[in-house]
Structure 1
Amino acid sequence: MIAYLLPGFIGLVGISTVSPAISAWLATSSDGQPTVGGFLYVTIASLALGMFASGLRWLVIDTVHHKSGIRAPNWDFAQLQSNLAAYDLLVEFHYRHYQFYANSFVVIALNYFVRLAGGCQICGGPGWVDAGFLFVEVVLFATSRDTLRKYYARVSHILAASAKSRKEKHHGKRRQPSQRYKESEDSEIQRETSNPDKAGATGSSSEQPDGEE
C-alpha cells in the first residue's frame, strides 16, 4: 500500500488540479461522503499511477543511487528459503519504505511540472511554494537513499553476499597454471623414482660415448 497507493494518490491530487474528471472523483457527495464510484476510480488510478511512478523510480532514482556510491550487492539466493521470514521482514521494514520515499519523490516532481505549466490553481505564486517543493524533494531523496542503504546492508547479513568465495575462486583460477606445472613436475619425479632401472639405463647410455673413446 505505501509503496504504490500513497504515492499514486499524491500524484492524483496534483493531476486533479488540471483534470476536472479526476477532481470529480475526489469530490464528495451532497451529504459530505465520498461516492462508491469515486472511491473505486481513485483507488485504481492511484495504484496505476503508483506503478508508473515506480517504473520511473527504477529508471532514474535507482540508477542515481547506484552510480553515486550505493552498490547493489551480489546476494546468494540459494540461502533465501532458509531465511525467507527474515527477508520478508526486511523488505517490509526497509524496501517498501524506500519505494514510498522514492516513488513520492517522482510524483511530487511531476506535480511540480504541473505547477510550472500553470495548471495548478491552488499552488499560489512563486516563492515559498517553490521552496516547499524543493525541501520536500530533498527530504524524500535523502530518506530514500538511507533506507536503500540499510536494506542492502541488512539483507546482505542473511543472504551472505559471497564476496569472499568469489575472491577465493578468482585466486584459484589465477593459481591454476602454476598448480598444473607443479603437478606435472611431481608426476615426473614419481615416475623416475618408481622406475630406477630406466633411470639407470638412461644414465649408462649417456655415458656410453665416453667409454667408446
Structure 2
Amino acid sequence: MEIPYQIFGSESSIDLDVCFFVDDLGTIQENHETIKVYIEKSEFNSGKKVNANLAVVQNGIIESSFKGAEDELNNALFETYHLHAQKFERRICRKVERNLDARIERCLRSLVSYFTRTLYRVEAKTALRGNTGDKIMFLDSIQLNRVEDFGKNGSVTEVYKSIAFQLGITLALLESVELYTKESILDYYPDLKNYLGREKQDSKVLQAYIEKFIELMKKRNYETERSN
C-alpha cells in the first residue's frame, strides 16, 4: 500500500517539497529512515531533489510534524494543494491560527545559522546558543557585502534566496499576511525578485530588508520586556 502524501510549496521550486502522512512519529533517526524508505517507494521520477517531511493529521489538521512548526506546515499544505498535480485527496481541511512568535524565532535562527561558515562564524555560533535578543544583536552587526563565501551553507545566490524567503514570509506575517510560495512573496515584495530567482549577488536591497526586520524586532523585544 502506497503511503499517502501531498506535494506543496512553490510551483517554480527547483526541489520537490513533499509531506507524507503517517499514523505516528518515531525518533529523529527513525523518522529520517522512514522518509528515505517512503521516497524510494513513491518513485516520484520528477528529476528534482525531494525534500520530505512527516506529519500526523487528526480531524483535518496537523497534530504533529517531524520538521518545522505544525501551524505553518498545516496552512502551507492547505494553501498550495491546488498548485500541484496531486495523487491523493486533500488531507488538510482548514487553516489554523499562526504562531507569530514561533515564526519570528525560526526566522532569526535561520538567518543567524547562514553565517556559521563565514568570517562571522564565532559570533554566529554564540548568538545561536543565546536568546532572541542575542540573535537580534548579531544580525544588527553584520554586513552582507563583507561575506563572499558562506561555505557549506551554500553559494551566495543560494543563501541570498533563502534569506529573502525567510524575511518575506516573516515580515508579511508581522502584517497578518500569510505567504507560502515564492510567487506570493514576489507579489507582496517585488524588489526581492532577483534574490528569490537566484539571479543577484548585490546585497544592497537584501541588506535593507534585514535592517527593516531588525528594527521591528528591537521594537517588539523592547515592548515585550516592558510588558513583563
The bucket for the TM-score relative to the shorter chain is: under 0.3
Provide the TM-score with structure 1 as the length reference. Answer: 0.22
Q: Which has the higher strand share?
A: 2
Larger radius of gyration: 1
Provide the TM-score with structure 2 as the length reference. Answer: 0.21
